[in-house]
Every structure is written in C-alpha cells, then in structure tokens.
C-alpha cells in the first residue's frame, strides 16, 4: 500500500465513480482502476463493488476508508506543520459545525480566513454533535463545535457559549403573549415539535421532563431545525430551541421565545479537538477565530423573551 493508492481509493469511494474520480484526479480511468486493483490485491480484500450507477464500498472498503481519511489528513498536517512559518500558518483545516450555528458562522469563518489566514485552506462540514464527535475521533474533522457534549477519552472540550433553552411559538400564540420565563411543567399541555432522540436538545428535554415527572406531548418528530421552525410558524405546535437558532432562521419576526425555568434548561456550545494531536500553528489560529466568532453569534430572539 502507498499513499497515492490510498488517495485514489478515497476519491473513488467519495465520488462513487471511477470516471468522476479520474476527472478530479486528472488521470486516465484505466490507470486509476489499476491502482485501486493493486491496492485490493495487496490487502487481499475486495474494497469496491461496481453497480449500474457506479461503485459502493464493501465492509472492508468502509474500514479502509475510515483509516485512509485519517492517514491522509495526518500526512497533510505533518507537511503543513513542517512548512508553516511562525507568523503565517499554512495548510488545510476541516471544521465541523452543527446546522443551527453553521448558517451563522460559515460566511464569517471564510471571511476571517481570507483576511487573517490567507495561505490556509478551510473546509466546513455540518452535522449533529454526535456525528462531529465521531468525525473528530476518526480524523475527518480537525476541530468542531458541539452542543452539550459528554466527557469522553480522546476529546478535549472547552465551553464557549451558554444559552438558555426557550419555548418557541408563533408570536400571535396565546401561550407566547405573556412575556417572561415559563416553568418547565407548562410544556405538558402543549403539542411539541422536536428532533429525533439522538439530538442533544431532545435528550436534555426528555431527561429533565422525566426528573420532573412530566409527560411530554410529542406531536411531531422532525430532524431539521429549519423544518421545525417552519412547522411552528405554520401553527403545528411549539418547539424547544435556543434564541440563536430562532435568530438564524430568518423568521424571528414571526416567533416569540420564552426561556424555560424550574428547572432552567441550558444549552452549552463547546469547542472540541482531538486530545491525541499536537496543535499546529494553523489549528491554534483557527480555534481562536472560531471561538471569537461563536461568542459573537447574534441572539436577537432573546430580547423578545425578556419581561417587557
């Protein structure tokens, strides 16, 4: 096995096609096929299966893909670290963002890299916090923002921003007409639109409800926060979200948010990196920029939730 074969295999796996990978790599398709086949022979495993639409990974191929992404990123990081100057970090970094904050941070991050780190390359991927943890662990992502992560070996976690969770409903709703906080027990009488059970807000909400002996009325279960907000605006129920998620939706003028109390529910945004990697100059500069931008996230909806 060599790095070039590994790079070719990963491109084919990600694009799902030898022809597409050949175009991206600027290599003849037969030559690409020979390199991947040589890799399969060396490992004594079938890595890819052809079908009418391209190729799919076998179980062995999935395992090699997970290793290969981390290996190539480590090699790239080593090259970048060797070539970095003290005052101008170079190289490539991948940042993982939850969807609720990705929309707000993507443009500022790219502007920040262009202005402060012009020789660096940035990739941004979005996913749920549980996915970002896995991506950091496997090396696909260098640094990520997570909501309410659990402490675990292999991750260094630093709190960045703390926000109260709010009941979110249409501005014209009778429940939202009263400004100020709302006790958690009030949720029992309301139809709720919530994410799936793996989502951190869902887990936090159900844990606190169970401890309070409160039975929640889950009317709809929707993964996308943007879709949840659309359903709330359409009158299909209420949601439990942060004020910044409402502000990022572009529909804050249609909604009202009331912080939950007794007990208060808090969402903590944290920075996470691998505990096993030595931070490069680029990593140090990028994490400082990421924290700075995250702490400046607008929370315009929070103003609506305060007593008037």
* pTM listed for this prediction: 0.64
Q: What is the pLDDT of residues 245-256, one digit of tens each?
A: 888 778 888 888
For the segment 160-182, the average pLDDT, to the nearest whole number, is 84
Q: Which two tokens stand for residue 14?
A: 């990600």
Q: Output 300 or 134, whichever has higher pLDDT.
A: 134
- Per-residue pLDDT band for 301 (boundaries 50, 70, 90) equals very low
Q: Output 92 or 298, whichever has higher pLDDT.
A: 92
Among the residue ranges 3-17, 74-88, 284-298, the one predicted with the least confidence is 74-88
- Per-residue pLDDT band for 204 (boundaries 50, 70, 90) equals confident
CATH of 163-267, one of 3.40.50.720, 3.40.190.290, 3.40.718.10, 3.90.550.10: 3.40.190.290
- Per-residue pLDDT band for 212 (boundaries 50, 70, 90) equals confident
Task: Report the C-alpha gap between 48 and 60 in whole angstroms.
Answer: 9
Mean pLDDT of the chain: 86
CATH 3.40.190.290 residue ranges of the chain are 163-267
Distances (CA, A) of 224 to 157, 165, 166, 187, 228: 25, 17, 17, 21, 6
pLDDT at residue number 262: 86
Q: What is the pLDDT of residues 115-129, one digit of tens each?
A: 998 888 899 999 888
By percentage, how much of the chain surpasses pLDDT 90? 36
Beta strands in 151-286 (DSSP E): 155-170, 182-183, 191-194, 217-221, 239-242, 255-261, 266-274
- What SS3 string covers 35-80? HHHHHHHHHCCCCEEEECCEEEECHHHHHHHHHHHHHHHHHHHHHH
CATH 1.10.10.10 residue ranges of the chain are 3-73
For the segment 217-239, the average pLDDT, to the nearest whole number, is 90
Q: Which CATH number is 3-73 given?
A: 1.10.10.10
Q: Which two tokens stand for residue 153?
A: 């070996």
Q: Is 266 exposed, middle or buried (0-12, 13-18, 19+ CB in 10 A)?
A: middle
pLDDT at residue number 148: 83
pLDDT at residue number 129: 85
**Going by CATH, does the domain composed of 90-160+268-300 fall within 2.60.120.10?**
no
CATH 3.40.190.10 residue ranges of the chain are 90-160+268-300
pLDDT at residue number 249: 79
pLDDT at residue number 290: 94
Q: What is the pLDDT of residues 79-100, one digit of tens each?
A: 766 665 555 678 889 999 988 7
Q: Say yes or no to pLDDT of 305 above 50.
A: no
């Amino acid at each position: 096995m060599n790095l070039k074969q590994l790079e070719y295999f990963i491109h084919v796996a990600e694009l799902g096609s030898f022809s597409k990978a050949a175009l991206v790599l600027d290599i003849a398709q037969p030559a690409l096929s020979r390199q991947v086949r040589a890799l399969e022979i060396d490992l004594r495993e079938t890595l890819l299966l052809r079908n009418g639409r391209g190729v799919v990974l076998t179980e062995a191929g999935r395992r090699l893909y997970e290793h290969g992404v981390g290996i190539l990123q480590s090699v790239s990081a080593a090259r970048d670290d060797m070539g970095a100057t003290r005052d101008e970090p170079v190289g490539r970094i991948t940042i993982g963002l939850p969807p609720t904050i990705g929309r707000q941070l993507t443009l500022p991050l790219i502007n920040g890299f262009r202005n402060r780190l012009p020789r660096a390359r940035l990739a941004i991927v979005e996913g749920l916090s549980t996915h970002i943890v896995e991506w950091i662990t496997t090396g696909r992502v260098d640094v990520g923002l997570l909501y309410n992560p659990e402490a675990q070996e292999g991750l260094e976690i630093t709190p960045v921003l703390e926000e109260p969770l709010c009941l979110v409903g249409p501005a014209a709703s009778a429940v939202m007409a009263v400004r100020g906080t709302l006790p958690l027990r009030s949720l029992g009488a309301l139809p709720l639109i919530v994410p799936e059970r793996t989502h951190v807000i869902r887990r936090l909400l159900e844990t606190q409800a169970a401890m309070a002996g409160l039975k929640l009325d889950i009317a709809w279960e929707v993964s996308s926060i943007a879709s949840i907000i659309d359903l709330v605006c359409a009158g299909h129920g209420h949601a439990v979200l942060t004020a910044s998620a409402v502000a990022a939706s572009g529909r804050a003028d249609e909604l009202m948010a009331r912080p939950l109390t007794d007990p208060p529910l808090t969402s903590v945004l944290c920075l996470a990196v691998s505990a096993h990697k030595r931070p490069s100059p680029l990593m140090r500069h990028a994490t400082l920029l990421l924290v700075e931008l995250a702490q400046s996230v607008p929370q315009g909806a929070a103003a609506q939730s305060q007593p008037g």
